[in-house]
Amino acid sequence: MILPIYLYGQPVLRKPTEEIENTPELKQFIADMYETLTQAEGCGLAAPQVGKPWRLFIVDGNELAEDYPECKDFKRTFINPELIEVSEDKCTYSEGCLSLPGISEKVVRPTTIVLRYLDEDFVEHEEEFTGFQARIIQHEYDHLEAHVFTDRISPIRKTFVRNKLTAIAKGKVGAKYKYKRN
């Protein structure tokens, strides 16, 4: 089932998230998230973006594999993730977000990270990610911390996107996928 994607201005995107437990309904919810992500042609989706204040996100890098080969077949589920290390080395990529349609801005973030998380079977992993994989993960992790990527852009760029953000929050902007707005 395709879920509506909550757009900027929806309170759930600014709420703290809670750790989740393995329930019979969770597998179906995750399957719905993948279906939602695929139809929206995105590369990552966090639970708050579909209305749940939970510590869960999924990634599917196949959409970006042409530009970033490390993203080919990078399709994963991250449950109760914990960012335990970030590199001093930073890099800049242009980011967008399904909750912020029409906005794309350069964001500086650590190049390499170490993440502890549970997979779909609730098996714990501690794993290093780098390049665009690390980028997608950090963007999605931000959603669990009640951040969106425009929180991290330069002050000058913030003034440029302010009107766009306001328009989304006021329900004046739509998207080509199923969405929920004010």
Q: Which of 97, 137, 144, 173 binds Ni ion (CB under 5 A)?
A: 97
C-beta closer to Ni ion: residue 8 or 117: 8
Q: Where are the alpha helices (DSSP H) in 41-154?
A: 131-144
What is the residue whose two structure tokens read 């995107």? 13
Residue 95 known to be catalytic? no
CA-to-CA separations, 108 to 31, 91, 128, in angstroms, rounded: 31, 6, 19
CB of 95 to Ni ion, least distance (A): 8
Q: Which stretch binds Ni ion (CB under 5 A): 6-14, 70-78, 92-100, 165-173?
A: 92-100
C-beta closer to Ni ion: residue 22 or 104: 104
Q: Using CA atoms, how far apart are residues 19 and 113, in angstroms rounded to an integer?
A: 21
Catalytic pick among 95, 120, 140, 145: 140
Contact between 64 and Ni ion (CB under 5 A)? no
Residue type at 96 in one-letter notation: G
Q: Which helix (H) or strand (E) holds 39?
A: helix 26-40
Q: List interacting residues with Ni ion (CB under 5 A).
A: 97
Q: Catalytic amino acids?
A: 140
